Amino acid sequence: MHNHLKPSLSLKFIFFTIALFFYAHHVMADYIDKTLSTGQVRIHYSNTAPSNCDAILLAVGTAMNISSYDKLSEELILQGYVTVIMDHAPGNMTKTSSTKYAALANDVKSNLSSWLGGSICSSVTHWVMGGHSAGGQAAQDAIANSLTQADAIFSIDPYNANNAGYVNLPALYWGFDVTTCFVDKNNAAKAAYLRSQNHRAFYRVDKKYSWGPCGYSPVYFHCSFCDDHCPGCTNCVMTPQHFFVDIASSVKKFINATFYGTWSKSALTLNATTPLKLFVDSEIP
């Protein structure tokens, strides 16, 4: 009896664990697509999201669209946030317009609760705004010029941020210690971090190469944030899932330290699988 019982219990435990993982990563997640006169949005949310929540608005990068960031969005909603992927210039390759960014962000702010039906995130406690690449530059300029009201910034490797405006909000950036996809590492997330004049954090991913179908390529690069990378910029290997998990975990630490706890480097320090270095406030990359 004993010898037959143990495998049965073990199998039940394995099936239960798999079911739990599947439920957490799939059943709870949902999204709504909206097309407005100011652009397109994909709203990612969890059916268990509270009525009061924090919302994250991320603008897409050059040549990308609202379906390009599902993997990152799913990890963000698992942390408890409603995540809105915004395309303020659908059909156009260029996404750097701060006025178009602001117009769409303001529409999202006015309509998000009604889009979600009123029971999920009926009241947004904090608006965290930013974007990827060109969308990150647009967000930086829109917020710097007071075109839209945000409570904090979260951007992933904003493009040519050395020419973007100075912002005076708590700000979080992810970027790289290597130039990829024609995006200069010194003019992207690093530059945006240096143009932030409030609490600021920069998670800089280490330079790491490996052999793959595209040859000897960076493991992490400017388009790693996108589900299928960017047109003309890929290492021919899909981004490891831990990269999205680490980003979402850092966002939670950032939001908690900014709005619900005490701001410090220790509060932002991440036990990450992704090799990276954290810079905070006066620290210069």
Report residue 135 as tokens: 């969308």
The answer to whether residue 285 is domain-embedded is no
Segment 223-282, tens digit of pLDDT: 999 999 999 899 999 999 999 999 999 999 999 999 999 999 999 999 999 999 999 999
pTM, two decimal places: 0.89
> What share of the chain has pLDDT > 70, as a percent?
90
- Give the DSSP H/E element, type plus range, for residue 105: helix 98-115
- CA 112-202-265 angle, 5° bins: 100
pLDDT of 213 strictly over 80: yes
Residue 3 covered by a domain: no
For residue 55, give its domain range.
30-280
> Residue 18 above 80 pLDDT?
no
pLDDT digits (tens, 9 = 90+) for 66-101: 999 999 999 999 999 999 999 999 999 999 999 999
Reported as a single tens digit per residue, the pLDDT across 118-168 is: 778 889 999 999 999 999 999 999 999 999 999 999 999 999 999 999 999
CA angle 39, 173, 178 (to 5 degrees): 105
- How many domains does one find in the chain? 1
Q: How many other C-beta atoms are found inside a 10 Å radius of the C-beta of residue 48?
A: 9
Q: Read off the CATH number of the domain in which 221 is found.
A: 3.40.50.1820
Q: Please report the pLDDT score of residue 120 as a whole number.
A: 86
Note whether residue 112 is domain-resident. yes
pLDDT in the model for residue 238: 95
Q: What is the model's pLDDT at position 29? A: 66
Residue 176 near residue 157, CB atoms below 8 Å: yes
pLDDT of residue 118: 76
Confidence of residue 3 (pLDDT cuts 50, 70, 90): very low
Task: Give the per-residue pLDDT at 69.
Answer: 98
- With respect to residue 24, please indicate whether it lies within any of the assigned structural domains: no
Query: Sign (positive/negative) of CA torsion 169, 174, 176, 177?
Result: positive
pLDDT at 50: 79
- The answer for residues whose C-beta is within 8 angstroms of residue 181's C-beta and 6 or more apart is 221, 222, 223, 230, 233
Per the domain annotation, does 4 fall within a domain?
A: no
Any domain includes 194? yes
* Residue 15 counted as domain residue: no
Compute the distance between CA of residue 87 and CA of residue 70 in angstroms, rounded to an integer: 14
* 233 within domain boundaries: yes
Q: Is the pLDDT of residue 2 over 60?
A: no
d(CA 81, CA 97): 26
